[in-house]
Structure 1
Amino acid sequence: MLDKSVTEIPGVGGKYAEDLALLHIYTIEDLLNYFPYRYDVYEIKPLAELIHDDKVTIEGRVVHDPTLQFYGKRKSRLTFTVEVEGVAIKAVMFNRAFAKKQIHIDNIITLTGKWDAHRLQITVSQYKLGPAEDQAKIQPMYSLKGNLTNIKLKKTVQQAINQYLHEVPEILPERYLTAYKIPERKTAIQTMHFPANRLALKHAKRRFVFEEFLLFQLKMQLLRKLKREATQGNAQHYDVDKVEEFINSFPFSLTNAQKKSLQQILSDMKSPYRMNRLLQGDVGSGKTAVAAIGLFASITAGKQGALMVPTEILAEQHYESLEELFADKANIALLTGSVKGKKRKEILEQLENHDIDIVIGTHALIQDDVNFSDLGFVIVDEQHRFGVEQRRALRDKGLQPDVLFMTATPIPRTLAITAFGDMDVSVIDEMPKGRKEIGTYWAKDNMFERVLKMIEKHVAQGEQAYVICPLIEESDKLDIQDAVDLYHQLVEYFPAHLKVGLMHGRLKSNEKEDVMKKFAENEVQVLVSTTVVEVGVNVPNATIMVIYDAERFGLSQLHQLRGRVGRGNKQSYCILIADPKGEVGKERMRIMTETTNGFELSEQDLKLRGPGDFFGKKQSGVPEFKVADMVHDYKALETARVDAQEMIENNLLYEDEEYFSLRKLLESDPVFTNTLD
């Protein structure tokens, strides 16, 4: 019955159905599940409790007849005074000249609108003659298109509820309704459209938050299970003793977080299923060491390994550090766009003949002519920098190789589990011992010269500095110090022997590489750059990070930039030059100076910005929910994840009758069924 067309509802004809279709409402079920996007609460509060600029409702007596002014074409302003609690309140209405004939002295009137506490004035959006008692306290407000009005849609929804609500099936087993004290589906739908009070609305929303998260988690986890079973990998029988020996040869001890992540990776490698794991770790937390042990384990199992990174300079740095780490235990090659001709041909032959154990490179690794003898372990660093197709192309070079994605963007665990639901997630949330914490300070614009003097002093001691700007060239719209202008200023300011470099997104790749190389080799002491410097280049000599207009960046981005320094054994500093006008900007600066823990920062960032901004609008991994919000409802998300896991592990969807409605709903989802096919 619920899959019938909306035209079955009295009063819904062809034209009306077309308007509803603009909202993706085609069936009665679509209509019942089209919830209001906000609720207007008509609650009369004492004047003392009204908040400036809020939407409020007041009730009072009209003190004098309204005065009407006309200005411009068909524009009018109606003003009158009402007495509320013995206080004279000015009421203003725009473009409602007709109301002059309806409102008279001594009328009791209920007004809703924007409250101005300073002027004791209300700008009226709605009014009603008579007292407020018989007015519904909470009014649903729907998102509308076409010729639809709120009143018309509300009436149609009410008819649908009267006729079809009894048909709505319950999809959650009774135990969840009882355990979480949430209403059954029918009651929750009725309450979402026509709430009796705030408490009932709160419980109805809680019900749908849990339901949306549970369905999403079930889809993710079922897909992961099915994908895993469909991709029987090659279990890697690595040499445990050799791996142990390799770890002991390190000049440092692994942290507990590194050990835990490593165990998860090695356990994946032993299993018959292909590994699909995300390794998250703050800048400098030691992800590369963990990845190197995984590569070594794969070599002892007779396989080859590949590490793909976004830039050539990063590939070179990984190559140098792995050469040092592996010594004579493996043959390592570097394959980037710069490797051409005879040298490239040689590497390709060695890869195909298994004379190379590990290859490190950029996009060059996924060219058609790159073939492996037996690729068993693939690492993709800063995985969000590569498209899905690029990641898949490297994976397809082997026969179901284990894949490890790495990222230094600390994503809150809850969100990582949601956005990367088809991956297992390992987290390194502990820093190696002895690493000096980066001193972070917030300075105003007028202190910039002091900051430059500090840079000069440190450079004289053989150190280097980054100066980061948000824009490349001056913009009329934003009063931001731009990189090009700042570069010229610094060239003028510093003595000639102190070399200043400039890097930004409009430079060609080889120009960027060249500037970065000069900086890495200390031919350039101060690097002025836009945020293209973010990703992983290791310059242990750089000890100062100055970020201009720091309030323009999100917390996670500021933290990523701060992580470019503090890589050597000298004390490092991050100076945030900012003059934020709003509270959010000030809060960001305060948080940055108080903590260097990336995961703590990312939780705060998420609260300040929301998940869309966090991942970028086009991140397909972040789903859009009707009622649920991943930031505010993260506890419910975690609960739903645990419940979904239990259902799948115990096969409840297929063996317990109480769960069959849930399974039926999952199987009817086209996104889900297409993926299963």
Structure 2
Amino acid sequence: MNKQDWTEKQVLKQPVTTLKGVGEATAEDLSLLGIETIEDLLFHFPYRYEDYRLRDLAEVGHEETVTVEGTVHSEPLLRFYGRNKSRCSFKVLVDRYLITAVIFNRPYVKRQVKVGRTIRLSGKMDKHRLQLTVQHYQWTNRAGQNEEDEGLLPVYSVTGKLKVAQFRKWIKAALRDYAAFIPEILPQSLLERYKLLSRSAALQQLHFPKDWQEGKQAKRRFVYEEFFLFQLKLQALRKRHREQVKGLAQHYDHQKVERFIQSLPFKLTAAQHRALEQILDDLQAPYAMNRLLQGDVGSGKTAVAAIALYASVNAGYQGAFMVPTEILAEQHYLSLKRFFAQDNIQLALLTGSSSSTERREILAGLQLGTIDVVVGTHALIQEDVFFKNLGLIITDEQHRFGVEQRRRLRRKGAAPDVLLMTATPIPRTLAITAFGDLDVTVIDELPAGRKKVETYWVREEMLDRVFRFMQNQIDQGRQAYVVCPLIEESDKLDVQNVLDFHAELSQAFPQYRVGLLHGRLGSSEKEETMRRFAAGEIHILVTTTVVEVGVDVPNATLMIIYDAERFGLSQLHQLRGRVGRGEHQSYCILIANPKTETGIQRMQIMRSTHDGFEVAKKDLALRGPGDFFGTKQSGLPEFKVADMIHDYRALEVARKDAAALINHPSFWEKEEYAPLRAYLEEQLRAEAKLLD
């Protein structure tokens, strides 16, 4: 970085108190918004604009928000009604239109209104009655002297004693004094290719656009910049991972792996075969695998994981399978036990509930190499867990683990291959783009013979009919899940809880065995309850979302979800996936009385959409990427301007551009890329923990 760049950087890093009118108390309020420096202030963008530009009433539509200027044409009429409510109305001549201006609950306006005064009014226009409901007004006797004359006014999120009008003045002052010091970070070639504004011009126009088109062009520049810089970092991580982390070339016996696949009690789908081919190729490659395996509920990811583990053990390595909950660890352990029943593979289960004797034996077995595969929870990443020769790590429901937790497990071996699995489907193109440092594999096909789960949405008043339907299913020899959002009654939330509902169902159906499952039960209690449910000894299982993933009971054909509006779409889809795993027709009944439009939408989507990827797409649109991906856990940033859903095309373009640049020798040599290299160096230093 040359001296001039350094100077520019230092200027922008000055404290915000450098600005006139910003004292220590104001600086404290600004710091709550993450604004410490001049640069922070300049990059605190408006979230919307108020359009106070004058409009011709002839071009204004009915009930459109508009700003007009005219002359007061009548004395004001003030009327009081209700409790402390008022309505002030007067006539205003706007060009050739005589309109009625109505101002609510500001009685003092009557004293200000004088016939012949010029007034600027903003509000909603009733074109039929020529009546304007005024939100904002200003007396204007000196043409061109109003702040509103300047175009679209930015509106910022503020806090404490900060006022938007004052904030605008600080932004203007900062732009006036420091715009010249804003360095360009994008290379000229990209600016020209996409006809993007310079960083300085885009910054000015994003804060104070003269019209919507200017604002749009400024936003377009920063959408691309945010995506491009994010992708540049991901692609650099990916490149460094490939180059520096020399992996294990795991040479397994192809014939034995094929025999193992043939011995499974089911035939793999074409999608499973494709996924397996990519994973097994990665195992044999000399670089460390870093792959995300996505698949809808019941698509057979565990079977693919089992084959990968078998291949790794066959090649002389150990495998670790980490999952977020004990109940899921127990399920995977039992599944793998069934898969490996005919083979001499030593399997262990390590969780927080393992006894001290079991734990000692497992730790010794892992260190000596007598245990081939261990399934476990966070217990696997504790400091006293050592492996003799860890070759493959599989993490299920990867979004439940933080970057640091995954990193700690990876350090248990010498560059082991890593497979991250998720049953939360993300549209593939978006997953490839969002997780730019991962290879992405998708199982987009369900095993043959899987029947679609019929889904119904009913209101609470129909609970008796739901109970009758459940009774009918159980009388036919089937079983049912009933999911509630809480464990016990809450003063703050008026929702059903498992303890009360378990008591209610036990009383309503004395002829059936009603089980209870929730997160506060001990591991052995949960395991025993699930064992009894799987064996058919429990007819109705009342549970919280601990059954969301991994629990597999083919005879369960009914999933009832109480207060369904309290769950996200993807979570509802996961719960629905607990049934429909056997030969009988299965049903999911959502009991919900949603009070919002979004709540109603969610119920309708669940009723009409059965494909997990489609559900995910709609969930993403409703919730936004931050909630969907779990921003804090996944390492995804919260973009200031860009939106991963609506600006998807720009995201994909930025990903391709970043990948092409990172992999081209000129990026590391040419002067035009120096600002990007400096940015990258700073980012990679800050996130060094990702570069294990």
Summarize the Cα distance change of 1:500–1:46 in structure 2 as closer, same or farther, 3 Å threshold.
farther
C-alpha distance in 2 between matches for 1:461 and 1:673: 57
Letter in 2 for 1:451: V
Q: For residue 214 of structure 1, give the secondary structure of its aligned residue in structure 2.
A: helix
2:517 to 503, 519, 524: 503
Task: Give 3-state SS (helix, strand or coil) of 2:516's partner.
Answer: strand
Instruction: Identify the range of structure 1 (184-193 vs 43-52) with the bigger mean alpha-carbon deviation.
Output: 43-52
Alignment-derived partner of residue 374 in structure 1: 389
Instruction: Name the residue aligned to 2:4.
Output: none
Give the structure 1 partner of residue 419 of structure 2.
404
Shift of 1:622: 2.6
For 1:468 and 1:45, the matched residues in 2 are separated by 58
SS in 2 for 1:623: coil
Q: What code does the residue aligned with 1:124 have? A: Q
Question: Aligned pair 1:127/2:138, yes or no?
Answer: yes
1-structure distance, mates of 2:404, 2:169: 48
- Summarize the Cα distance change of 1:428–1:651 in structure 2 as closer, same or farther, 3 Å threshold: farther
* Structure 1 position 322 matched with structure 2 position 322: no
Q: Does residue 42 of structure 1 match 2:52? A: yes
Structure-2 change in CA distance of 1:512 and 1:126 (3 Å): farther
Q: 1:151 to 1:257 in 2, by over 3 A?
A: same
Specify the code of the residue in structure 2 equivalent to 1:335: L
The equivalent of 1:554 in structure 2 is: 568
How far apart are the structure 2 equivalents of 1:412 and 1:82? 56
Secondary structure of residue in 2 paired with 1:629: coil
2: distance between equivalents of 1:228 and 1:36?
40
Q: What SS does the corresponding residue of 2:456 show, helix, strand or coil?
A: strand
How far, CA to CA, are the matches of 1:673 and 1:361 in structure 2? 28
SS at match of 1:217: helix
SS of the residue 2:554 aligns to: coil
Equivalent position of 1:249 in the other structure: 263
One-letter code aligned to 1:219: K
Are 1:109 and 1:127, in contact at CA under 8 Å, matched by a contact in 2? yes
Give me the whole-angstrom Cα distance separating, in 1, the residues matched to 2:323 and 2:27. Answer: 50
> Structure 2 CA distance, aligned partners of 1:449 and 1:342?
50
Q: CA deviation at 1:31?
A: 4.0
Q: Partner amino acid for 1:518?
A: R
Alignment of 1:64-463 (within 5 A): 64-66=74-76, 79-83=88-92, 85-92=97-104, 94=106, 97=108, 99-113=109-123, 122-129=133-140, 135-145=149-159, 148-337=162-351, 340=355, 346-366=361-381, 370-413=385-428, 415-417=430-432, 420-463=435-478
- Between the aligned partners of 2:22 and 2:505, the Cα distance in structure 1 is 70
1:611 counterpart = 2:625: yes
Q: 1:509 to 1:353 in 2, by over 3 A?
A: closer
Correspondence 1:488-637 to 2 at 5 A: 488-494=503-509, 496-616=510-630, 618-619=632-633, 621-637=635-651
* Cα distance between partner residues in 1 of 2:503 and 2:128: 48
Task: Give the counterpart letter for 2:47 in structure 1.
Answer: Y
Separation (CA, whole Å) in 2 of partners of 1:274 and 1:280: 19
Q: Is the 8 A contact 2:564 2:590 kept in 1?
A: yes
Give 2:72's aligned residue: 62
CA distance in 1, matches of 2:191, 2:86: 52
Q: What whole-Å deviation, never above 9, does each CA across 1:164-200 have from its counterpart, x for those lacking one?
A: 4344443323333333332222321221122121112
For the residue of structure 2 that corresponds to 1:192, the secondary structure is: helix
Q: Is the 8 A contact 1:442 1:593 kept in 2?
A: yes
- The root-mean-square deviation of aligned C-alpha atoms, in Å, is 3.6
How far does residue 602 in structure 1 lie from its aligned partner after superposition? 0.8
Q: Secondary structure at the match of 2:468?
A: helix
Structure 1 residues 145 and 584, CA, compared in 2 at 3 Å: closer, same or farther?
A: closer
SS in 1 for 2:251: coil
Structure 1 141/360 Cα, relative in aligned 2: closer, same or farther at 3 Å? closer
Q: Which stretch has the larger CA shift, 241-250 or 22-31? A: 22-31
Secondary structure of the residue aligned to 1:498 is coil
Give the Cα separation in 1 of the matches to 2:58 and 2:533. Answer: 63
* CA separation of 1:146 and 1:306: change in aligned 2, threshold 3 A: closer
Check conservation: 2:66, 2:122, Cα contact below 8 A: yes
Q: 1:18 maps to which residue?
A: 27
Contact 1:266 / 1:294 at 8 angstroms: preserved in 2?
yes
Shift in Å, 1:12: 5.6
Per-residue deviation, residues 292-332 of structure 1 (Å, max 9, x unmatched): 12111112211121223344443343333323323433323
**Do 1:66 and 1:78's aligned partners in 2 also have CA atoms closer than 8 Å?**
no
Partner deviation per Cα, 1:625-673 (whole Å, 9 max, x = no partner):
2211222222211221111111112234213443233223333448647
In 1, Cα distance between equivalents of 2:461 and 2:19: 69
Compare 562-571 and 658-667 and name the one that shifted more: 658-667
Do residues 485 (structure 1) and 468 (structure 2) align? Answer: no
Question: Contact (CA 8 Å) 2:77, 2:90: kept in 1 or not?
Answer: no
| CA offsets 1:121-150 (integer angstroms, 9 cap, x no match) | 625344343699872331122334566544
Structure 1 counterpart of 2:655: 641
Deviations 1:572-601 (A, max 9, x none): 111122232332222212221222111111
Counterpart amino acid of residue 33 in structure 1: F
Specify whether residues 199 and 16 from structure 1 end up closer, same or farther in structure 2 by C-alpha distance, changes over 3 A only.
Answer: farther
Query: Contact 1:92–1:121 (CA<8 Å) still a contact in 2?
Result: no
| Alignment gaps of 5+ in structure 1 | none
CA 1:42–1:590: 2 relative to 1, 3 Å = same
Distance (whole Å) between structure 1 residues aligned to residue 650 and residue 411 of structure 2? 37
Q: Structure 1: how far apart are the matches of 2:523 and 2:62? A: 54
* Structure 1 letter corresponding to 2:646: H
Percent identity between the aligned chains?
A: 54
Describe the SS at the equivalent of 1:619. helix
Residue identity in the other structure for 2:140: L
Q: Deviations over 1:375-409 (max 9, x none)?
A: 21121222334455544443333322212222212
Q: Distance in 1 between matches of 2:73 and 2:43?
A: 45
Conserved? CA contact 1:551–1:585, under 8 Å: yes
Separation in 2, partners of 1:315, 1:6: 51
| TM-score normalised by length of structure 2 | 0.86
Range that drifts further, 108-117 or 207-216: 108-117
Q: Conserved in 2, the CA contact under 8 Å of 1:306 and 1:379?
A: yes
More displaced 10-residue stretch of structure 1: 12-21 or 100-109: 12-21
Question: Retained in 2: the 8 A contact 1:543–1:572?
Answer: yes
Q: For residues 505 and 195 of structure 2, what CA distance do their matches in structure 1 show?
A: 63
Residue equivalent to 2:3: none
Q: Using a 3 Å threshold, how does the CA distance of structure 1 residues 45 and 547 change in structure 2: closer, same or farther?
A: farther
**Higher mean C-alpha deviation, range 327-336 or range 553-562:** 327-336
Contact persistence 2:454–2:587 (CA under 8 A): yes
Alignment coverage as a number of residue pairs: 672
Secondary structure of residue in 1 paired with 2:150: coil
CA offsets 1:271-296 (integer angstroms, 9 cap, x no match): 33222222221111111111112111
Note the alpha carbon deviations across 1:545-574, whole angstroms, 9 max, x for none: 111222222111110110111111211111
> 1:608 Cα deviation (Å)?
0.8
8 Å CA contact 2:403–2:633 kept in 1: the answer is no
| 2: CA distance, partners of 1:633 / 1:233 | 36
- The answer to whether the Cα contact below 8 Å between 1:110 and 1:132 also exists between their aligned partners in 2 is no
Residue identity opposite 1:173 in structure 2: P
Q: What per-residue deviation string (whole Å, max 9, x for no partner) do you get for residues 432-454 of structure 1? A: 22211111122233322222112
- C-alpha distance in 2, partners of 1:345/1:68? 84
* Contact preservation (8 Å) 1:59, 1:111: yes
**How high is the TM-score relative to the length of structure 1?**
0.88
